[in-house]
Amino acid sequence: MQATGNNSSQATYKLSIHAFVDGQSVSVNDPSGRQVWHASQPMPDASGSLRASRLREVLLDSHVASHTYAQVQVVSHMPSTYVPVELFRRSDVPSLYRLTFSSARVSNADIRHHILPGMDVVELFALSQALAQAVTGLYPQAELLGRAGQVVGMAAESDRMRGDADPGMHVRAEGSELHVCLLKGGQLRFACTYQAPTDADRIYYLMAVWHNLGLDAQHTRCLLAGDAAALKDELANYILRVEVCA
């Protein structure tokens, strides 16, 4: 199979593969950005090799293989950590990641780094080696990314589009994942992803972050996206400037 698919049409599609802790999903979007196909594979107890094998089967399915792709992304939902650019050394990436997440199952992980656009910070993230090889064997041009870093990038772009200079605590909830980051002057000051399956869990973590960082209620905005938009009314009882954004 060709690296970009085997469709002779000039139309180019986007292929998105999300690697979750307990499974994976594959989505195909047409040139207009509309999702035309999606498959989800919950696999909470499967080995990395089995998950990679099942993913390869999906990628060889005609729903996926019949398109030409302008962009192929593999997005890891394993935890990320961040290093200032001036302190970053490529040789330290594996040891630093394993030290930060010593309790995570990363012994056979492909540990990667990515400089976040427009920011002086490098994201370190991990992905199953078997899964990464299954994708790049079919699509050598695939981008390997961390979801947490993607969310930080989206928050920074939102601030730039809005022309906001005030510090902002950006919050995005996706399923059981709660992404929280603090941006000030276009630069990352804090970022963490929590496992928070309920609204009560989300409120707990957000208020803990707000308190522990000593955020100024007069100048710091709390910006909600994704499923976190449902928290606006409750958070407004504690935080002065709460807004919902795309």
Which residues lie across from 89 on neighbouring strands?
none
Nearest-CA neighbor of 222 among 149, 155, 146, 177? 155
Domain match, 132 and 20 both: yes
Cα distances (Å, whole numbers) of residue 141 to 14, 28, 73, 135: 12, 16, 9, 9
Query: Tens digits of per-residue pLDDT, 150-161?
Result: 999 999 999 988
pLDDT for 8 beyond 50: no
> Which CATH number does the domain housing residue 87 bear?
3.30.420.250
pLDDT value for 10? 55
The larger pLDDT score, comparing residue 76 to residue 161, is at 76
- 152 lies in some domain: no
Q: How far apart are CA 232 and CA 238, in angstroms?
A: 10
Q: Would you place residue 122 in the very low, low, confident or very high pLDDT band (cuts 50, 70, 90)? A: very high
What mean pLDDT is predicted for residues 68-74? 97
Domain match, 63 and 172 both: no
Domain match, 171 and 125 both: no
pLDDT for 1 beyond 60: no
pLDDT value for 102? 84
The residue ranges of DSSP E strands in the chain, in sequence order, are: 13-20, 23-29, 35-42, 69-76, 81-84, 109-115, 121-128, 143-146, 168-174, 177-184, 187-195, 221-226, 242-244
- 154 lies in some domain: no
DSSP state of 119: S
Domain match, 65 and 134 both: yes
- 240 lies in some domain: yes
> Which CATH number does the domain housing residue 203 bear?
3.30.420.260
Residue 122 contacts residue 191 (beta carbons within 8 Å): no
The larger pLDDT score, comparing residue 8 to residue 64, is at 64
pLDDT for 162 beyond 50: yes
Q: Which residues form the domain of 68?
A: 1-146
- 72 lies in some domain: yes
Query: Tens digits of per-residue pLDDT, 190-237?
Result: 999 999 999 999 999 999 999 999 999 888 999 999 999 999 999 999
Give 184-233 as a 3 state SS string: ECCEEEEEEEEECCCHHHHHHHHHHHHHHCCCCCCCCEEEEEEHHHHHHH
Number of domains in the chain: 2
Q: Would you place residue 3 in the very low, low, confident or very high pLDDT band (cuts 50, 70, 90)? A: very low
Domain match, 33 and 135 both: yes
